[in-house]
Structures are given as C-alpha cells and as structure tokens.
Amino acid sequence: MAFAAFGSGSAKEHKSPTKSSRIVLALLMPGLVYLGLFFFTPLFSLVVTSLEAPAASGGIGEYEYGFQWQNYVEVVTTYMPQILRSFLYASIATIIALLVSYPLAYFIGVKLRTRPMLQRLMLVLVIAPFFISFLLRTIAWKQIFSDGGALMQFAYSTGLMDKSQHFLGTDAAVIFGLTYNFIPFMTLPLFTTLERFDVRLLEAGSDLYANPAAVFRKITLPLSMPGIISGTLLVFIPIAGDYVNAGQNFLGSSKTSMIGTIVDTEFLQTQNYPIASALSVMLMAVIVALVSLYVRSSGTEDLL
Amino acid sequence: MKRFSIGRLTLPAYSFLAMAFMLIPIVYTIVFSFNDSKQRTNTQWQGFTLDKWLGVCNKQEVCSALGNSIFIGVVSTLIATILGTALAIGLVRYKFKAKALVNLALFLPMATPEVVLGAGLAGLFFNAGVGAGMPTVIIAHVVFCLSFVVVTVKARVQTLDPVLEEAGRDLYANPSQVFWKITFPLLLPGIISAALLSFSLSFDDFIITYFNSGSVETFPKYVYVAAARGVPAEANVIASAVFLAAILIVLATQINGAFKRKRLAKK
Amino acid sequence: MAIDFKPSGADLELKNVRKDFPGFTALQDMDLHIPAGEFFALLGPSGCGKTTTLRIVAGLEEPTAGQVLIGGKDVTASKPHERPVNTVFQSYALFPHMTILENVAFGLRQRKIEDPLKKAMDALNLVELGYAAERRPQQLSGGQQQRVALARALVNRPALLLLDEPLGALDLKLRRQMQIELKAIQMEVGLTFLHVTHDQEEAMDMADTVAVMNKGHIEQMGAPEALYERPKTAFVSKFLGQSNLFVGKVADSSASSLSIEVGGHKITVPKDRAEKQTGKICIGVRPEKTTFHRTNPKLGSDHVVVGPGEIIDIRFTGVSNQYLIDIPNVGEVTVFAQNVGISPVIELGEQVWVSWKVEHSFGLSDLPAGNEDE
C-alpha cells in the first residue's frame, strides 16, 4: 500500500556494494536540483522578503530590502492569538487523533493478521477519505452540524444545547474538523509499525509475570514509538498550517482564525508580503525546532 | 472453561464504529450528489434525481475545473515519479557521504506546512516576474509530491535483493537490460502506488494551488470559492465519481494481492 | 494474586486435557505426570500437539477441557502472568527495545523482587554472558540470544521451565554445546524442565523421560534407552531411529518366543518383547543389530536369518556403512555395519543373507500403515 510508506523504519534492508559516483550523481542530481530551485530557494526568498520594508515609491504591494526585523516584532504582537490558537488546535487535534487511531491501528495491524482479506478491506476504508475532496468532506460536516440539521435539532429539543448556542464556528467545531481530516495520517504510520510488531513478545511478557496493562506499557507502547512519532508529525505539522477548517465558510468563524488565515489575507489580499513572509518563517522555524527536538529525544534517525 | 471477557468484543466493535464515523461525510457527499436541489445550494434534501449525474457538464465551470485538475495531476505525477524513483534508487543502492543530508532535504518538504511552501513559491515567482498559471501550479505540485514518491519507492527498493541483479548480469544481461528486465518490473508495484499517491495528493491540493494558480481554476479551488455561496450538487457528482473510480482501483489491487498471498500461503 | 514460589521444581500434572481448534483436535484427552526435578521431553513431528501442550501449561492457550496442576494446585483458570512457569521461546522473543540486562530483569521487576539488576547479572554470568549485559538483543548471535532467553526464564526460579524447541535455530555444533550446557544448568538448579522438540537425538541425549507424541496423543513414554530398545508402535520405531519391520500372522509359538512367517522365512521375537501375541503382528529390528553374510550362515534358533537378497544401495556415512538389501517376498532390509578397519569388500548386486539375534527383535502393538487387517 502506498500510504504504508508514511511510517518510519525500514523493512529488510539489503546491503549493496558501492558503485561509481557518476551513476549516483545522475540519479540524485535532477531531483535535488529541483528541490534546490523550488523548495529551498522559496524558503530562502521568504526569509529575505520577511525583512523587507515598504518601498519609497509607496505603491501597494511594493517593497524593497531593508533588514526590517521589526516585521517580526509586529507579527508577534499583532497575531499572538492566531499563533497560540494554531498550535493549541494542532496539539489537541493530534492527541485526539492518536487516541482514536491507536486502537483502530492495533486492531487492523495485529488482530486482523489472521484475516488478510478483512485487513486489506479495513485498510482501504482507512484511506478512503483521501479519495474524496477534503473540502467537500468538510462541507458535509458543516451541513451535518448546521443549526437546522437533525443533530442540532436533537440537541435543542432535548435541552443538551440552548437555542442561542451553535456548534459551527466554535473552537470545538474546528478541532473536530481538523482531527477528522487528519486521522488517516495518524492511523497509517501506526498501522505500519504495529503490522510488523512481533506478538510473541506479548506472550513472553505475560510469561514473565506482566499483567495486560504492564505488557502494554512496557512492551507494546515502547515498540510503537516509531509509528507514534511519524503519525504525530504527519498530523501536527499540516494542522498547524491549515486554515481551511477554521475558515468562516467551513467550520470556523472570525474567532477561530489561524496562522494560515493571516498569511492568506496578508499575502493574497492586503499584499503585505513582508508580514506574510515573517509569519511563514516563524511557523516554519517552530516546526523545524519541534521536529528536531522530537526526533532527538526519541532517537528516530530514519525519518524517510 | 473459556475465559470470557467483554474486552474481546470491545476492540472490534470500537474499530467498526470508528470506521463508520470516518465514512459519514463520504456517504453524505455521495447521497447529496443525487439531490434534486433547485437552487444553487445543496443543503436541504429535496428528492432523488439522476439529473446532476447525467448533466454534470451543464455546469461548465465544474467540468473545466475538473479537466484542469486532471491535467495538472497527470503532468506533475509524471515528473515527480521519474525524479523520485531515481532518487529512491540512488539513496538505497549507493553509498555516499552526504546521504543523511539528502534524506533530510527530502524529509523537509513533507514537514513544511502547505501555507509556507505556497507563500514561498508565490513570492519567488512574483519576485522573478513569472506570472501565476498552469506551469507554476505544476512546478509547485511536483515539489510536495516528490518526497512522497521517494518514500514509497524507497520502501520497495529496500525489499529488492541486489543478488537478483547480479544473477541477471551473470546471465549475460548488460546494465540497461538488467534495469529494464529485472529491476524495473520488480519496482513497478512500488512505482505505481507512488504515482497513485502523487496523483491523489495533487488532485486534492488546495492551499498551495490557491497561492500559485492565478486565474487557473482547479476542482478544489472551485469548491473553495463556491463554499461562500453554496456548493452545487454537480461538485458532489464529480467528487463521488472520482471517489468510486479510485476505490474500485484500490479494492481490485488489494483483493488481488490478498488472493495471491492466500494462494502462496497454501502452497 | 500472589505467586507461590517453591525453591526448587514442582511437579506438573495434566488431567484429561483436550484442545480443539476449528476443524481439528490438537490434543486428545491427554494425561501426563511429570515428577518434580525431572528433565522431561515431549518429542514428535510438527503438528503432533507438543507445542500446544506446552502453551497450555504456560497458560498461553486455554484447554477445551481438562485440568492443569502445578505443584498440586489447579492453575487451569490462571492467566500466564499468574503461573509459576517460565518459557524459553522458540523465537527467543527477547524485547528488542531493552538491553540484555533489562530483558533478564524484566520478570523480577514485574514481581517487585529486590535487587533485580544484581540477580539478573548473576543469571547472565551463569550463562557466561555477563560481558554483554548492556548490549541489545539484535547485537547478539543466535546462540547468545538463546542463552539470554534461558537466563531470562531461569532467573525467576520458576517451579517449571518450559523449553519450546529453543535449539532449533542453532547450527549442529552450537546445538551440541548448548545441549550440554542446558543439562548442566538443569542439574545445578534442580528445576523441572519440560522440553519440546522434534529432534530425537536432542530428546534422548538430555531428557530423563521422553514422551513420543503423534496426532495429539502420547504414543509411548519412558527412559530414552527403553524407548529405543523396545519401541511399542510402528510410529515410534520409525520416528526414533530406523527400523526394519516385518508383518505376518503368528505361525509358531513356544513358551518363550513366537514366530511369524514372511516369504518363507521364520522371524522370531521373545514373548516378553512382544506387545501383541496373536493374529497378524509386526516384528522389527534395528539396522545396527543386523549383520550380513556372503553365504547362508546356518545359525541356530537363537538367530533370525533372512535371504538371500541383492544389495541394491550402499551409503558411506563415516562412522558406518549402510546397506540396502532387497530380499524376494520379504522386502527391503537395511543393515548398518560399523566402519571398523577396512570396510568389507562388497559390491552392488551381490547376494547376501541377513541375520540378527532373536533377543534383538521387538514386537509392536500395531501394524505399519498399509498393513491393516483385511
């Protein structure tokens, strides 16, 4: 399965002899040059743009380089709520996604080993959401949770919620949408790790006087770490940068704007490129710091 | 004598419920592709109709957006798959000093939020005076598809025993014959999954596309813009059709694979 | 639930244990008693139910019916972690995310025993792997991993130690060495060992008592020499070593022996070595108990002589030569001749007679497959 490759750790590796460096260059160069041009240059360009000042001519969207580090100060003071909200949403959604996915991945990866047909079917169902537009899926939730929908009508009629309350537009609705959209990115790496998990170790644990809870804590969980790490990164990072779920036309409101919302507005509408760039650079810096911290403390060198 | 415990049923029951939950919006989207909605919006159920399926291209914008999305998906997948496969083979099969650095360079695009890459590329094109359009969208899509192709193909290359290639050479095949007759066919399943993954990532991408497409309309972009006023049922038709086609392809390959495994296991 | 540990081994008793899997019965009403301190081997081909037996004792599998008693206490309903039993798994099942020392200390930590690391270190020293304490399982060779698995089980001083083909993955030389070490450790710690294996040499070499299993039940049980010298069923006679088997109706019976007639030859077995004394029976002899002669040896009634037959195959195996002789109306007979001095100059196609002492014959309780009563 293609998506199985999201997981970290590698299958059986074959050692191979060193061969001429010309072939290596021919194989690697095109891809690396491409990444250099269209991935690293844009990142560098973002850093440069983030330090620009409005041009003397003063037209909208016109800037020139000026080592304007104050841009960062402005970004932090003005957009602190959005920055905090983005990382808070991402943290909560990642934790929920992990709690929801782990038992599911365990069931598919370990319990269904004896039923390969069912295992494959469940796996297809896990990735099924990928095949339908995520915008439409989010809109579907929006309509399901709309005030006139059956769900809210039920909540109103039973008194669970007051008629003046809404679910759409709240923090909870946005977190719900984010969690839903990224659950497969958590389930798949967990599945790849658990699929390879040697269940005989569980028997060895219980043979050595560990009760089921201790077996889970001391054996299953530590050995699931590679999947937990890849899953957490694959969910946390895109959520921190997402702004579709939080958008007013989707599950959010003006009170749920995130970093991405601001970058979108500043870049595409206000054309305030330095501010948009400074926000992007900050987001990227925080994520790179988190990734390196996470990876160092958990010791997963092989990210790919 | 049997130790009965409710725990044995909890996990399967939970798993099937979780799966059902994941499928709710999919079912909802498909059901509403049959909605006989008279207005622009498609929020209230107004009766069953096949009209939207049969006349999907009556809504011209939807169909042309779909055409663009397919074109962008195919071209960027082609480029990403070729570049990525070469990278994967190079990374697994050869030893060189900067391998850790190359791995990191390939991981970073996956760890970059879409909005950062989208804004970065848009800024670069803007500064270079390149107008946003079809080429810039394709360039952008290749960037985020590339790493996923490498990861997927790499996994396949790692399971490939180099001895098979040595055996090929031993049996009088020259290097290019070894590649096309042995290596490539064995890698093909991995390359195909990588291409499918790449296409689905490209097809469903919104944020990066939004920053780099200028006036080029793609299907996700169409839906995003339409969301403000109400998404027509024709969009549901397209999404449902794409979904059903994809799920059929995947199910067919998966079930075929499971059958093969079963047959092998019996032998 | 507290675990009751005895300083040395406890006895194991299986009462009418039965295990059904969907579609087949793995164990058929098995009764077994292993006295405390004994080295007991369950021997049989794969699929005979030996591993199922072991897993039921460990608590990893629930019996469909019957009881498991360890030290006289019924543990049938206990979970694996509540049983005073430890297992050396066939795959070793060492925890890959822990050091060797932590692996060995695992059981002690679970039971909150004082000084787990010191005791674990002692156990590692016992298997001569103290120097590898801080390594990870993947860094050790198969033989070293096997010793860690043994230390990890032994350190808990279980009432009963279960060994699930632990030597299966080792090469022949290492295997011999480990067999000797295992036996020495068992003598030293005095635990009850239950060893499951398909390797007959291993079972006979190490165990005090061997039970040969076939199709979910015990075919025969006893000391290794007794099993070898007097197999009681066709299965045991073929599974433990090789046998020449002859089937015929009892034709002659004296006070001390009985004979059958096969292809004009009289094959005799002492009555006290015959399980079945009437009707169609099967008499066997081990190939190394037989000799061949160039001329009819004309021996007395204390010998069985068959022949002449033609030598159709000769194999040189080092310590002995193996000859396959085709005797008309009798069938093929295998003869092992010790390779002492210069091997007898004999060629394919030569005519020979085969003889053995009557006291080496054994009479089986059943008939080999394909020879059932018409």
Q: Tell me, yes or no, if B222 comes closer than 8 A to chain A by beta carbon.
A: no
Any domain includes B234: yes
Q: Of the candidates C176, C208, C229, which is a domain's last residue?
A: C229
In contact, A97 and A235? CB cutoff 8 Å? yes
Instruction: Say whether both C19 and C129 belong to one domain.
Output: yes
Q: Tell me, yes or no, if A12 comes closer than 8 A to chain C by beta carbon.
A: no
Reported CATH class of domain A79-298: mainly alpha
In contact, C245 and C284? CB cutoff 8 Å? yes
Q: Of the candidates C172, C204, C229, which is a domain's last residue?
A: C229
Instruction: Give Cβ neighbours of residue A145 (< 8 Å, ≥ 6 apart).
Output: A151, A152, A167, A168, A173, A251
Contacts of B256 in chain A (CB under 8 A): none
Question: How far apart are the CA of A119 and the nearest CA of chain C, in angstroms?
Answer: 20
Question: How far apart are the CA of A162 and the nearest CA of chain B, in angstroms?
Answer: 23
How many Cβ contacts (< 8 angstroms) between chains B and C?
A: 9
H or E element at residue C260: strand C257-262
Query: B19 and A129 in contact by Cβ < 8 A?
Result: no
Q: Which residue of A has its CA nearest to B122?
A: A42
Q: Of the candidates C176, C205, C229, which is a domain's last residue?
A: C229
Select from C79, C96, C156 the Cβ nearest to the Cβ of A206. Answer: C79
Query: C110 and A208 in contact by Cβ < 8 A?
Result: yes
Q: Tell me, yes or no, if B1 comes closer than 8 A to chain C by beta carbon.
A: yes
Which three-class secondary structure state does DSSP give residue B142? helix
CATH number at residue B241: 1.10.3720.10
Tokens of C366: 């059943």
Instruction: Give the total number of structural domains in chain B.
Output: 1
In contact, A110 and A199? CB cutoff 8 Å? yes
CATH number at residue C305: 2.40.50.140
**Which of B75-84, B89-98, C245-254, C286-295: highest mean pLDDT?**
B75-84
CB atoms within 10 A of CB A299: 9
Instruction: Give Cβ neighbours of residue C116 (< 8 Å, ≥ 6 apart).
Output: C105, C108, C109
Any domain includes C99: yes
State the pLDDT at residue B199: 93
Tell me: pLDDT of B102 over 80: yes
Q: Tell me, yes or no, if A225 comes closer than 8 A to chain B by beta carbon.
A: no
Q: Which chains touch C (3 or more CB pairs under 8 A)?
A: A, B
Per-residue pLDDT tens over the stretch A44-101 = 999 998 988 877 776 676 777 777 788 899 999 999 999 999 999 999 999 999 999 9
Any domain includes C2: no
Contacts of A124 in chain B (CB under 8 A): 247, 250-251, 254
Question: How far apart are the CA of B61 and the nearest CA of chain A, in angstroms?
Answer: 17
Helix, strand, coil percentages, rounded to 5, for chain B: 80, 0, 20
Query: B243 and A131 in contact by Cβ < 8 A?
Result: yes
Which three-class secondary structure state does DSSP give residue A126? helix
Any domain includes C241: yes
Instruction: Say whether both C302 and C243 belong to one domain.
Output: yes
Any domain includes B36: no
State the pLDDT at residue B69: 94
Q: Residues 37-76, chain B: which have Cβ within 8 Å of A?
A: 43
Instruction: Say whether both C177 and C293 belong to one domain.
Output: no
Least Cα distance to B86 among B184, B200, B170, B160 occurs for: B184
Instruction: Say whether both C220 and C245 belong to one domain.
Output: no
Query: C87 and A207 in contact by Cβ < 8 A?
Result: yes
Query: A137 and B23 in contact by Cβ < 8 A?
Result: no
Local confidence band at C341 (pLDDT 50, 70, 90 cut-offs): low
**B116-155 CB burial, b ≥16 within 10 A, e <16:** bbbbbbbbbbbeeeeebeeebbbbbbbbbbbbbbbbbbbb
8-state DSSP, A217 = I
Least Cα distance to C211 among C67, C43, C342, C81 occurs for: C43
Q: Where are the domains of chain A?
A: 79-298
Boundaries of domain holding C81:
12-229
Per-residue pLDDT tens over the stretch C236-293 = 999 988 999 999 999 888 888 999 998 888 999 999 998 888 889 999 999 999 988 8
Question: How far apart are the CA of A228 and the nearest CA of chain C, in angstroms?
Answer: 15
Query: A205 and C106 in contact by Cβ < 8 A?
Result: yes
CA-to-CA dists, residue A98 to A94, A149, A233, angstroms: 6, 29, 11
Question: How far apart are the CA of B128 and the nearest CA of chain C, in angstroms?
Answer: 51
Contacts of B89 in chain A (CB under 8 A): 27
State the pLDDT at residue C70: 92
Contacts of C64 in chain B (CB under 8 A): 1
**Distance in angstroms (rounded) separating the CA atoms of residues B217 and B134:** 9
Instruction: Say whether both C42 and C69 belong to one domain.
Output: yes
In contact, A243 and A259? CB cutoff 8 Å? yes
Question: How far apart are the CA of A17 and the nearest CA of chain B, in angstroms?
Answer: 7
Any domain includes B237: yes
Q: Which residue of A has its CA nearest to B99?
A: A28
Q: Tell me, yes or no, if B7 comes closer than 8 A to chain C by beta carbon.
A: no
Contacts of C3 in chain A (CB under 8 A): 209
Instruction: Give the total number of structural domains in chain C.
Output: 2
Select from A200, A208, A211 the Cβ nearest to the Cβ of C91. Answer: A200
Question: How far apart are the CA of B169 and the nearest CA of chain A, in angstroms?
Answer: 15
Boundaries of domain holding B117:
54-266
Instruction: Say whether both C326 and C356 belong to one domain.
Output: yes
State the pLDDT at residue A5: 36
Question: How far apart are the CA of A103 and the nearest CA of chain B, in angstroms?
Answer: 7
Q: Tell me, yes or no, if B202 comes closer than 8 A to chain A by beta carbon.
A: no
Instruction: Say whether both C293 and C182 belong to one domain.
Output: no
Instruction: Give Cβ neighbours of residue B126 (< 8 Å, ≥ 6 apart).
Output: A273
Q: Residues 246-265, chain B: which have Cβ within 8 Å of A?
A: 246-247, 250-251, 254-255, 257-258, 261-262
Tell me: pLDDT of C4 over 70: no
Query: C96 and A210 in contact by Cβ < 8 A?
Result: no
Question: How far apart are the CA of A17 and the nearest CA of chain C, in angstroms?
Answer: 22
Any domain includes B3: no
Q: What is the mean pLDDT of residues B151-173?
A: 84
Any domain includes C370: no
Q: Tell me, yes or no, if A133 comes closer than 8 A to chain C by beta carbon.
A: no
Per-residue pLDDT tens over the stretch C6-60 = 456 788 999 999 999 988 889 998 999 999 888 999 999 988 899 999 999 999 9
Query: A1 and B193 in contact by Cβ < 8 A?
Result: yes
State the pLDDT at residue B22: 93
- The DSSP bridge pattern shows strands C65-70 and C73-74 to be antiparallel
Question: How far apart are the CA of A161 and the nearest CA of chain B, in angstroms?
Answer: 22
DSSP secondary structure string for all residues of C14-78: EEEEEEEETTEEEEEEEEEEE-TT-EEEEE--TTSSHHHHHHHHHTSS--SEEEEEETTEE-TT-
CB atoms within 10 A of CB A26: 12
State the pLDDT at residue A99: 97
User: What ipTM was predicted for this assembly?
Assistant: 0.87
Least Cα distance to C178 among C189, C167, C168 occurs for: C167
Contacts of B2 in chain C (CB under 8 A): 62
Tell me: pLDDT of C130 over 70: yes
Q: Tell me, yes or no, if B3 comes closer than 8 A to chain C by beta carbon.
A: yes
Contacts of B29 in chain A (CB under 8 A): 132-133, 136-137, 140
8-state DSSP, B40 = S
State the pLDDT at residue C134: 94
Q: What is the mean pLDDT of residues C288-313?
A: 89
State the pLDDT at residue C3: 39
H or E element at residue B152: helix B134-158
CA-to-CA dists, residue B112 to A298, B105, B106, B210, angstroms: 20, 11, 11, 16
Any domain includes C371: no
pLDDT tens digits in sequence order for chain A, 304 residues long: 333 333 333 334 444 444 567 788 888 999 999 999 999 999 999 999 898 887 777 667 677 777 778 889 999 999 999 999 999 999 999 999 999 999 999 999 999 998 888 998 898 899 888 889 899 999 999 989 988 888 888 888 888 888 888 899 999 999 999 999 999 999 999 998 999 899 999 999 999 999 999 999 999 999 999 899 889 988 999 999 999 999 988 999 989 999 999 999 998 888 888 999 999 999 999 988 888 887 776 654 455 4
Any domain includes B6: no
Least Cα distance to C156 among A208, A215, A219 occurs for: A208
State the pLDDT at residue B266: 58
Q: Which residue of A has its CA nearest to C96?
A: A223
Q: Tell me, yes or no, if B138 comes closer than 8 A to chain A by beta carbon.
A: no
Q: Tell me, yes or no, if A81 comes closer than 8 A to chain B by beta carbon.
A: no
Length of chain A: 304
Q: Report the predicted TM-score, pTM, of the whole model to 2 decimal places.
A: 0.83
DSSP secondary structure string for all residues of B201-241: HHHH--HHHHHH-TT---HHHHHHHHTTT---HHHHHHHHH
Query: B206 and A244 in contact by Cβ < 8 A?
Result: yes
Q: Tell me, yes or no, if A4 comes closer than 8 A to chain C by beta carbon.
A: no
Q: Tell me, yes or no, if B228 comes closer than 8 A to chain A by beta carbon.
A: yes
Query: B235 and A276 in contact by Cβ < 8 A?
Result: no
Instruction: Say whether both C260 and C127 belong to one domain.
Output: no
Instruction: Give Cβ neighbours of residue C298 (< 8 Å, ≥ 6 apart).
Output: C305
Contacts of C65 in chain B (CB under 8 A): 1
Tell me: pLDDT of C361 over 90: yes
**Which stretches of chain C sit within 8 Å of chain B by CB?**
62-65, 76-77, 79
**Distance in angstroms (rounded) separating the CA atoms of residues C356 and B47:** 95
Instruction: Say whether both C32 and C108 belong to one domain.
Output: yes
Most C CBs within 10 A among A13, A198, A208, hence the mutation to make, goes to: A208
**Distance in angstroms (rounded) separating the CA atoms of residues A119 and B203:** 27
**Which stretches of chain C sit within 8 Å of chain A by CB?**
3, 58-60, 79-81, 85-87, 89, 91, 93-97, 106-107, 110-111, 152-153, 156
Instruction: Burial-class residue C127 by CB neighbours within 10 Å (0-12, 13-18, 19+).
Output: buried
Select from C60, C80, C95 the Cβ nearest to the Cβ of A219. Answer: C95
Q: What are phi and psi of C353, to 5 degrees?
A: -110, 150
